[in-house]
Structure 1
């Protein structure tokens, strides 16, 4: 039996712009995990081929068994890369706590957990770049052209800046908490990407303005995070939400959640992920956290998680 683990991620700033080569900042969400187990089995009569896949956990309403095209391609790519031959039946079990379709990197985390489980099963050394490339292959199947930030962030131990396939850890000088709130509505990365692309094509100069504004906000946020300027970081987060909202990528519920968080004393709040649903990320001081979480739930959040900045800083150190 081979075991592999990965975790969720949230985009702090840089959604969509990162696909066009601009930078993005991402946070690991260690509370939300995916664990894969891989082994050999004798398949039941109705199972065809050399692979079966079972998913359990809170991210799945029921136990689901199938061999998806994406998993087949991922397994094939792994075997090819590692020089593995043979057709013994593989049985992969994935236990996932990451809500699907919420911009939290569930597909990348699942793929990374599976790749690491296969490496453990076959006793293969897997360096960081190989793991990234294999997960990125699966991400391109799932989302079309993927920037790579999810594939990198679901294995990161600390906040990172990602741009054009390269990542580096971020300095964290801020205190406070991130509250991550699930709107209960799945977004669609593919639909959001196409919506934004269509807008760029309709209006001359729209792409340059969006990318320029996004890059400036990402740079401001990185500096504020490093220098311990929590209030400034919060303001930049809210400004990025306005950029996403103006591009048509937010929803009424997401906007209400952002407004509720700000009303409750959050330093800043924004949609996180591709948009058209998904989650809100709010930055708050500990003394406001309870009220911010309450207001987020009142505005439509179905669940919330707290990610302490100091814990992220400890990882970064």
Structure 2
């Protein structure tokens, strides 16, 4: 968490009890107390972008920012949803009328989870749900995945569904893909469900095997800053889907099921094959990015295993260049974060998340964190941009029941 002034040191102590507040507001709203309260975090991705829907590798970590859900069961087929963060009253839906692509705004994410669970044959008979979130929306920090995972976890517990955390993540992805209509991969939901405190999550998105990688940067005199540009993105606008389609076209032209099957050592040959086949220039660029970012994830894991976290910086820079030039999902504000941070002495930086706005991560020596943050703020002010929100990425716990 950050202060209103965007401080980059430490975290704010809450002045109120969010669990008590949510319990009280739920009780006032629905006329009875919730059966429990659950939390699921947002995430920031250290490295590995647009690789998850290509069966590739990613390395996210959970943030302290969470979506909270106060929930009680119903038996009458009614779903009642309310958010303390969005103006408006309770959204009331009939379970037997839930269907994809019907809108519902923010409520589509928890409603989609209920739909996905019921489509899979799970006996969810209705619920009263009150949501509250500190995950910034539109910042590339997985606010939607946090809503999906916290809803899935609560219903799993209350209805005794017996699903594992990875299975809940898959449910959340199905809700976002099929119900909301965003063709995302599995990284965001897996990060929210499965990350652990003090670790980054090395995830193979092909089979969901994972490894918790110790990520204590402060012990090495380092800090990872998140810079929220406050430029909002919307992944449902077609740009994300176009890149996914381009990656699938590249895999088909290379005769593989997904781009995960293309080893980094064979990238040059693969690009030559695409060029010879007359593939669109954008497809060639997308393939180069995905295969390259898979290799960058593995390189970062090797560096962390070797205790050389400082050497991760240039890998972040290379990842941003690829996202900017090959995938073309950056924007002027994200590029400015990377250039201003680098000029001020950061070890490395890159945009994170789906792009077209959102956030960047900056690896910096701890003693220079405020200096680098101030350089980014100054660059934004000089460019006439809205002041960025800057805070440290503290690797935090994944989804869990609080009460």
Same fold? TM cut 0.5 = yes
User: How far apart are residue 65 of structure 1 and its match?
Assistant: 3.8
Aligned to 2:41: 7
Q: 1:202 aligns with which of 280, 284, 287?
A: 280
User: How far apart are residue 53 of structure 1 and its match?
Assistant: 1.0
User: How far apart are residue 178 of structure 1 and its match?
Assistant: 0.8
Distance 1:192 1:225, change over 3 A: farther
Pairing of 1:88-237 with structure 2 (within 5 A): 90-140=127-177, 141-142=179-180, 144-155=182-193, 156-157=195-196, 158-163=199-204, 164-172=206-214, 174=217, 175=220, 176-190=222-236, 191-196=238-243, 197=245, 202-203=280-281, 205-237=284-316
- DSSP 3-state at the match of 2:41: strand
Aligned to 2:392: 306
Deviations 1:127-158, CA, capped at 9 Å, x for gaps: 22331222122221345332211110012113
Deviations 1:280-317, CA, capped at 9 Å, x for gaps: 101112101111222233325531221257x89xxxxx
Q: 1:18 aligns with which of 44, 52, 56?
A: 52
User: How far apart are residue 19 of structure 1 and its match?
Assistant: 1.7
TM-score by length of structure 1 reads: 0.84
Distance 1:124 1:218, change over 3 A: closer
CA distance in 2, matches of 1:225, 1:103: 24
TM-score by length of structure 2 reads: 0.67
Distance 1:25 1:178, change over 3 A: same
User: How far apart are residue 279 of structure 1 and its match?
Assistant: 0.2
Aligned to 1:56: 84
**Higher mean Cα deviation, 115-124 or 149-158?**
115-124
- DSSP 3-state at the match of 1:295: helix
CA distance in 1, matches of 2:66, 2:353: 17
User: How far apart are residue 94 of structure 1 and its match?
Assistant: 0.6
Aligned to 1:71: 110
- Contact residue 4 and residue 35 of structure 1 kept, 8 A: yes
User: Number of residue pairs matched?
Assistant: 300
Aligned to 1:46: none
CA distance in 1, matches of 2:293, 2:39: 32
Stretches (4+) displaced over 6 A: none
Deviations 1:180-218, CA, capped at 9 Å, x for gaps: 111111123343324535596621633432222222222
Q: 1:256 aligns with which of 320, 336, 343?
A: 336
Larger Rg: 2
- DSSP 3-state at the match of 2:362: strand
User: How far apart are residue 165 of structure 1 and its match?
Assistant: 4.2
Q: What is the root-mean-square deviation in Å for CA atoms of aligned residues?
A: 2.8
Q: 1:28 aligns with which of 46, 58, 62?
A: 62
Structure 2 residue ranges without an equivalent (≥5): 1-34, 93-103, 251-278, 398-403
Distance 1:74 1:42, change over 3 A: closer
**Higher mean Cα deviation, 173-182 or 256-265?**
173-182
Asked whether 1:293 is paired with 2:373, we answer: yes
- Contact residue 161 and residue 169 of structure 1 kept, 8 A: yes
